[in-house]
């Protein structure tokens, strides 16, 4: 096993560790680890990422369900259009995108390049959200308590397409939507978000199963290591304030996003 491959598996532990420590964000690293450390094709990487993100989020969601923190009504209103969009994107949209999109001054923009650049943009947006909100929380108490379920469904549809394209959970978009549109308290929004991410990602992955050959032994090992990381992160949370780490992790994600853009455009 090569050093880079070993680093890839260490990265899977780091994904879970971040999820356990700060309650989100770690899944945004899954695709870069699979592509750059483990040399997987971006299409395969985004598919595997959906399974990893969905399974690890489900672990957290089950824990929150036992504590009664998940708002199931809001989750379903958001999740139904979201997971429909994720599934259709993975099963039908991704396969029909041509391998070569267009040529810019003898520089060919391919399907894989477009997906990685779009993913990098999502990383940059996620990093900005984590940096800005690292030391503060959304305050839903000062907002009128009437929920806007129509806008919530539209937001779910949009996030479903984004999740389907890049294989990331989209928690940085889901949590603000739940707080501002569904008027959920922050802790309940985070818990409900994990439940939505789990449903979206796993149903989206079903769209890939019918189109791709899945390396189940590798995928289950990678996911298992990530889940171990979650439990380590939850344990470390007793000694470390995860909220203080969120801003620092946001800067790390920002650097990673810039690196992906540089690497993809320079090759």
- The mean-pLDDT minimum among 48-52, 157-161, 237-241 falls in 237-241
- d(C-alpha 255, C-alpha 259), whole Å: 6
Band (145; pLDDT cuts 50, 70, 90) = low
Q: Write down the pLDDT at residue 142.
A: 42
Q: Write down the pLDDT at residue 84.
A: 92
User: pLDDT of 37-74, one tens digit each?
Assistant: 898 999 999 999 989 988 988 888 888 888 888 899 99
Residue 244 has pLDDT above 80, yes or no: no
If you average pLDDT over every residue of the chain, what do you get?
84
For the chain, percent of residues with pLDDT exceeding 70: 90
CB 160 within 8 A of CB 38: no
Q: What total number of domains does the chain contain? A: 1
- d(C-alpha 8, C-alpha 10), whole Å: 5
Q: Write down the pLDDT at residue 51.
A: 93
Q: Write down the pLDDT at residue 80.
A: 93
Residue 184 has pLDDT above 70, yes or no: yes
Q: In terms of pLDDT, which residue wins out, 137 or 192?
A: 192
Nearest to 82 by CA among 7, 154, 168, 180: 154
Q: Write down the pLDDT at residue 135.
A: 52
What is the arithmetic mean of pLDDT over 126-152? 66
Structural domain span for residue 76: 3-266
Band (243; pLDDT cuts 50, 70, 90) = low
What one-character-per-residue DSSP string does 16-47 give? HHHHHHHSSSGGGGHHHIIIIIS---HHHHHH
């Amino acid at each position: 096993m090569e050093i880079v491959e070993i680093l890839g598996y260490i990265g899977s532990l780091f994904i879970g560790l971040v999820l356990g420590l700060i309650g989100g964000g770690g899944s945004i690293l899954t695709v870069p680890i699979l592509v750059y450390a483990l040399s997987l094709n971006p299409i395969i990487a985004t598919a595997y990422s959906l399974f990893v993100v969905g399974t690890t989020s489900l672990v957290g969601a089950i824990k929150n369900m036992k504590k009664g923190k998940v708002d199931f009504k809001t989750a379903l209103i958001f999740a139904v259009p979201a997971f429909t969009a994720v599934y259709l994107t993975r099963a039908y949209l991704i396969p029909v995108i041509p391998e070569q999109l267009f040529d810019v001054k003898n520089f060919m923009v391919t399907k894989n390049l477009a997906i990685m650049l779009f993913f990098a943009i999502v990383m940059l947006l996620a990093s900005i959200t984590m940096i800005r909100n690292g030391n503060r929380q959304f305050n839903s108490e000062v907002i009128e308590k009437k929920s806007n379920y129509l806008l919530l469904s539209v937001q779910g549809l949009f996030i479903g397409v984004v999740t389907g394209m890049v294989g990331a959970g989209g928690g940085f978009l889901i949590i603000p939507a739940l707080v501002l549109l569904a008027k959920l308290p922050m802790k309940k929004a985070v818990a409900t978000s994990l439940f939505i991410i789990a449903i979206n990602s796993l149903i989206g992955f079903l769209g890939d199963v019918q189109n791709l050959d899945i390396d189940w032994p590798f995928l289950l090992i990678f996911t298992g290591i990530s889940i171990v990381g979650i439990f380590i992160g939850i344990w470390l949370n007793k000694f470390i304030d995860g909220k203080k780490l969120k801003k620092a992790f946001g800067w790390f994600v920002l650097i990673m996003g810039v690196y992906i853009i540089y690497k993809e455009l320079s090759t």
